[in-house]
Structure 1
Amino acid sequence: MGNLVSPLAGNVWKINVSVGDVVEMDDEVIILEALKMETPIYASDAGTVVKIAVKEGESVSEDQVLVVIE
């Protein structure tokens, strides 16, 4: 459990969770767009979403925190 970070620089295309949602390991949480390609970001652990640190359309950098799961 902990922080879900961006593996690359890009834009947040879609957020598939809300604060309070329970996610399982490997659930698709966010989709990033970079170089016209969509990159899904999956939960690395099961838990509850306690914070979403980005918004759809926002630019993100590599290793930026996207979602906090506890």
Structure 2
Amino acid sequence: MKEITASMAGTVLNVLVNVGDEVNSGQEVLMLESMKMEIPVESLESGKVADVKVAIGDFVNEGDVLLVLE
């Protein structure tokens, strides 16, 4: 299992993938909002989305797990 974590604190603006989706390294999987800026979160590895740990509107801290890939 590979975890995709938040690089900074912010609010989840949009989740761009669903459980079961295949993602590629470098693909945007989620959008965070921090200090009125939209920050894309990219997958660092390829894999299949096993779990989405957050929902739109959730506040996350740096290091929080956002998605799990298998």
Is TM more than 0.5 here?
yes
SS of the aligned residue for 1:40 comes to strand
Query: What amino acid maps onto 1:15 in structure 2?
Result: V
TM-score between the two structures when normalised by the length of structure 2: 0.97
In the TM superposition, what is the alpha-carbon distance from 1:23 to its structure 2 partner? Answer: 0.3
SS of the aligned residue for 1:62 comes to coil
User: What whole-Å deviation, never above 9, does each CA across 1:17-43 have from its counterpart, x for those lacking one?
Assistant: 000000010010000000000000001
Equivalence for 2:65: 65
Query: Aligned partners of 1:21 and 1:28: how far apart in 2?
Result: 13
Output the aligned Cα RMSD: 0.8
Equivalence for 1:8: 8
Query: Aligned partners of 1:51 and 1:57: how far apart in 2?
Result: 17
Query: What amino acid maps onto 2:29 in structure 1?
Result: V
Query: What amino acid maps onto 2:24 in structure 1?
Result: E
Query: What amino acid maps onto 2:12 in structure 1?
Result: V
Please identify runs of 4+ aligned residues in structure 1 that moved more than 2 A: none
TM-score between the two structures when normalised by the length of structure 1: 0.97
Instruction: Count residues in correspondence.
Output: 70
Equivalence for 2:53: 53
Query: What amino acid maps onto 2:38 in structure 1?
Result: E
Equivalence for 1:38: 38
